[in-house]
Amino acid sequence: MADTTAQRWMRLMGGQGRPTARPPSDADVADNVARYPERAAQALVDQSRRQGQAASARQARGWISRQLEEAAELLDQPTRDRIAQLAHVQIAKRFPEDSSEDGSNS
């Protein structure tokens, strides 16, 4: 059975721990991600590296953007924008030589 978007984000945010009486709802997961955008951004950056999607700043930004697009049903636009902004700052720190290629000075 395929994971739902909420299940993927719950795992991404470190929520695969102890079982609960009921799994969190999509709203619970969305609230958790929105409450901790820094953690979500860091988790995406880390996941991009683990999946080999961070060979360059452009590749990492593209992969993260796709993940956030897929989360549109779960996360509102301001939350996705904030996570993207935070992730791009982290990527710019990791790839300072690439940070000027798109003209952004985060």
Distance of CA 20 to the CA centre of its chain: 24
What is the value of pTM for the model shown? 0.76
Q: Residues 34, 65: contact at Cβ < 8 Å?
A: no
Average pLDDT score over residue span 8-31: 74
User: pLDDT digits over 29-86, tens only?
Assistant: 899 899 999 999 999 999 999 888 888 999 999 999 999 999 999 999 999 999 999 9
How far apart CA 58 and CA 103 sit, in angstroms, is 12
Output DSSP code: residue 14: T
The residue behind tokens 């700052």 is: 89
